[in-house]
Amino acid sequence: MADIVAITLLRHGLTVANERKAYLGWTDSPLSIKGEKEILDLRGSYPQYEKIYTSDLPRCVETARLLFPDIVPVKNASFREMNFGSWEGQTYDDLKADEDYLNWLERPMKALVPGGESYPGFSERVNNGWKQLIACKENRFAIMTHGGVIRDLLVRYAPKEKNFFDWGISHGRGYELIWEDRNSLRRGERCTLLQAAPIMGKLNG
């Protein structure tokens, strides 16, 4: 029997800062009232996972607790969102006169965020965490993380190539990536099947 591995990538619930459309990386913001309700409405929509891994930031840990109350998540800082440095908590309107910010908008995949990360540095961190994670023995597990992390992993491992910003991930939802055998996963090959998670839901973001 093939050693099938299924990994679900989930985005944390809607936060107060998300509602303001503010940049939210390593700083944190609590789930909003709407966000918490949306997550509770999704409880029971997901299958039983052998383990839940999560970014160590509270918004991810809390979302995992609400969705999977019977599982204690394993925290991993490698799966944090990109560090937005001095732009944390600020919106486009707050930053639209900032020259560094405008330069970053022109080259978001290369430019360094002041006091934060560049995309290459962020991507390397996430991939290093991923390589450690896939050494585990579980065949079906989930990672509760952030939109940027999920997009970065999909760019690398989705069956069909798409650009980073072409992936849409709604809060509390995500994608399940399936490999037909563990060796192909460990060799860094793209997954053979990708499906929205939960299957009954519809991504809208």
Please report which confidence band the pLDDT of residue 2 belongs to, taking 50, 70 and 90 as the band edges: low
Q: What percent of the chain has pLDDT over 90?
A: 94
Structural contact between residues 13 and 174, judged by C-beta atoms closer than 8 angstroms: no
- State yes or no: 16 annotated in a binding site: yes
Sheet with 5-11, side-by-side order of all strands: 74-75, 51-54, 140-145, 5-11, 174-179, 193-197
- Which of 50, 63, 51, 56 has the alpha carbon at shortest distance from 13? 63
Task: Please tell me the pTM assigned to this model.
Answer: 0.94
- State yes or no: 139 annotated in a binding site: no
pLDDT(18) > 50: yes
d(CA 125, CA 154): 15
- State yes or no: 103 annotated in a binding site: no
- State yes or no: 163 annotated in a binding site: no
The predicted-structure confidence for 144-175, as pLDDT tens digits, reads as follows 999 999 999 999 999 999 999 999 999 999 99
The predicted-structure confidence for 61-87, as pLDDT tens digits, reads as follows 999 999 999 999 999 999 999 999 999
Cβ–Cβ contacts within 10 Å for residue 12, how many?
29
Structural contact between residues 85 and 117, judged by C-beta atoms closer than 8 angstroms: yes
User: Which domains, and CATH codes, for the chain?
Assistant: 5-84+118-197 (3.40.50.1240)
- State yes or no: 146 annotated in a binding site: no
Cβ–Cβ contacts within 10 Å for residue 110, how many?
10
Q: Which residues, 6 or more positions from 2, have their beta carbon under 8 angstroms from its beta carbon?
A: 180, 181
Alpha carbon distances (Å) from 162 to 81, 155, 202: 20, 6, 19
Q: What percent of the chain has pLDDT over 70?
A: 96
